[in-house]
Each structure stands twice: as C-alpha cells, then as structure tokens.
Amino acid sequence: MEPDKSSNADRITREIPTSRDPYFDNAKFLAVALVVVGHAWEPLRGAAVGGRVLGAGQSFIYAFHLPVFIVMCGYFSRGFSRSRNRTRKLVAAIVVPYVLFSAVYVVYTEFLAGRHMRWDPLEPYYLTWFLPALLAWRLSVPLWQQLRFPIAIGLAVAIWLFAGLVTLPSMLDAVQVLSFLPFFVLGLILGPRHFALLRRPAIRVAGALTLVAGAAAAYVLESSVDPEWVHWRRSFAELGVGAPSGVGFRVLALGAAALLTAAFLAVVPARRTWFSRLGAASMYAYLLHGFVTLFLSYQGWYYRISGWQVPVLTFGCVLLAVVLMTDPVRKTFRWAVEPRLEWLFR
C-alpha cells in the first residue's frame, strides 16, 4: 500500500467517495452484528457458560470486529479536516449522544443492580467508551494527514505500544483509545483502490480461508491465552506479564487483528444486499443494543442456558441488530442518536 507522491491530504481529498457504496454499508452491518453477539457472549464466557466453543468464538470476534469498525471510521473521516461545520457535526454526532447514553446507561444499571452508581462523564460506562474515542481520533485527523505514510503508521504503532507499557488512568478509557488508534490511522490512509484490491476473487478466497484458520487458532488457544489480549484494555502490568512478553503478545495480537480485519473486509459482499440500507444506521444498533445485553447479564436464568440455546441466542442477537437498524427504530430514537441541533448554533 504505497502512498502517492503527492501529499496525504491532497490524495485523501481526491479519493473521498461522492456516493454511498453498498460495500461499506454491508461491512458496517456485519461488524455491528458481531458487536452485539460479542457483548451478549461476554458475560456467559465469564461464567464459563458455553464451554470452549463459545470462549473461542468470543475471542475470535473480538480479535477483529472493532478494528473493522474503526478502520471504516478512519476511512470516512478523511474529509473531516476540510469539511464545513465540523464543530456542529462533532457535537451532534458524538458529544450529545455520549453525554445522554453514558448517563442513561448508568441509571439503567442502577435499576438492574439495585444499587447506587455514580455517573462521571470522564469515566465512560459500558459501550459508550467508543464515542469519546471517536471524538479524540477525529480531532487528531489534521495531524495524521500532514504526516507521510510510514511516519504516520509508525507513530500510531508507537502510541499503541505505549498504551501497553504504561498503566494509564481510566479517564475516557485512554488505554483503548490509544490501543485502537493504528486502525483509525490506517483507515485514514487507505483509499478506494485498496478496498478494490480486497474485492478481487483470489483475495476473497484467501480472506475466507484466513477467517477459518483464525477461528481454528482461537479454538486451539482458548485455554492457554488470556482473552484480554484482544480486548486492548489492560496494560502489561495489569495482565501480569513483563515488558518483553507483553510486547511479544501485543505484536502478535496486532498482527492477527490486521490480518483478520483484511480477511473480513475481503469477504464482505460488494453488491447491494437486503442489509445494505440497514448498515447506514449501524450506530443505532451499537448504542441501543446494550439495553438488551445488560438486562440479560443481570438475569440469573441467562447463565443457565446451554446446548442448542446458545445458537438460538446468537441468532437472536443478529435479529436484534437488524431490528435496531430499521426505519421505525431510527425515527423513534433519532433525537438521541442523531440529534438535530440547529437551534443551538448560529
């Protein structure tokens, strides 16, 4: 993926897509469906429900589903530094939904748990960490666009490594913000020609085989590798390993994430599908599904499911994602997910 001889900023401006490409909406739909499944499986894995298969499946999903989402966020942030009304977009699409959902999720958990919880806007709760992370990444766009390709990637990886070497404060989930940064920067650098390369038949076959191999590796390693390595939220000290081992594990996790992300994007359908239109509303599924998965995590019966019930649960999660991206849900919750704030600005 060699950069053009012109500057990154000029190249990015030329390659901004002018119309919706169903390929990216398909990718967003599939990625957010995996997010929903992953959040539903996580409490079950913690309670040893589902055995080795569910544990391996959850590690496999977490190895690439967020990197996929973040690469696309970077890709569609390429015109951010040149767009008009940048402040309005950040406030309406990120700041207001974050404040609203972070507070509501805390109140909702208070109700479920039957105990008082303190809301701190600087301490993202549950899945809301992604919004301040996206805010930080987008604010950094002008910096990355001024750097040459190898320097931008090298700096992002250095920051990613720093997040593991040092135990950072929990404020705004700094560890995850810095750990996922390389994927956002990669998305900024990639252009349509790179995604076109992934759509070639041979690459698509290789991608499918890579995903199968990744799932098999996750199954083999399930009992011997801490799943926290693919969650990117703990320092080496918190994981109980020294710097040399930590760097080695982190490099392997980053390589696996990059490879599986490319493989996933290679197998995403390029044509318009029945879920292409839904993918345009992926943020609705992301922000709203937590009310269901959190509810389930506080139900005693949820931890007694087994056998055929796990696949049924998984199918139900995909169905939930579909429902949350439909037009009725979008119309009902647009005020929260995509608030119109014309009255706020001059």
Identify which has the larger pLDDT, 86 or 197.
197
Cβ proximity of 105 and 125 under 8 Å: yes
pLDDT at 17: 47
**Local structure of residue 171 (DSSP, 8 states):** G
Judged by average pLDDT, the poorest of 2-11, 46-55, 249-258 is: 2-11
Across the range 225-241, mean pLDDT stands at: 90
pLDDT at residue number 168 = 84
Please tell me which residue, 20 or 324, carries the higher pLDDT value. 324
Q: Of the spans 7-21, 80-94, 260-274, which averages the highest pLDDT?
A: 260-274
pLDDT at 20: 80
Does the pLDDT of residue 127 top 90, yes or no? yes
Contacts of 113 (CB under 8 A, 6+ apart): 298
pLDDT (mean) for 95-119: 94
Residue 16 has pLDDT above 60, yes or no: no
What number is the average pLDDT over the span 184-198?
Answer: 94
The more confident residue out of 251 and 1 is 251
Q: What is the mean pLDDT of the chain?
A: 91
CA atoms within 13 A on the CB side of 219: 8
Q: pLDDT at position 138, please?
A: 93
Question: Residue 184 in contact with residue 78, Cβ under 8 Å?
Answer: no
Grade residue 86 by pLDDT with cuts at 50, 70 and 90. confident
Instruction: Specify the pLDDT at position 7.
Output: 46
The pLDDT of residue 19 is 65
Tokens of residue 255, six digits: 């390589």
The pLDDT assigned to 341 comes to 84
CA dihedral 151→154→159→163, nearest 10 degrees, is 180
Query: What is the 3-class SS of 182-205, one letter each residue?
Result: HHHHHHHHCCHHHHHHHCCHHHHH
For residue 321, pLDDT beyond 70: yes
CB neighbour list of residue 321: distance below 8 Å, 6 or more residues apart: 29, 32, 33, 36, 285, 289
Question: Is 319 a residue whose pLDDT tops 90?
Answer: yes
What is the average pLDDT across 122-127? Answer: 92
Q: What is the pLDDT of residues 143-161, one digit of tens each?
A: 999 999 899 999 999 999 9
Provide mean pLDDT across the span 1-25: 56
Could you give the percent of the chain with pLDDT greater than 90?
A: 77
pLDDT, one tens digit per residue, over 257-297 is: 999 999 999 999 999 999 999 999 999 999 999 999 999 99
What is the separation of C-alpha 76 from the centre of its chain, rounded to a whole number of angstroms? 14
Q: Residue range 175-182: average pLDDT?
A: 93
Residue 36, classified by CB atoms within 10 Å of its CB into exposed (0-12), middle (13-18) or buried (19+), is buried
pLDDT band at 61 (very low <50, low <70, confident <90, very high): very high
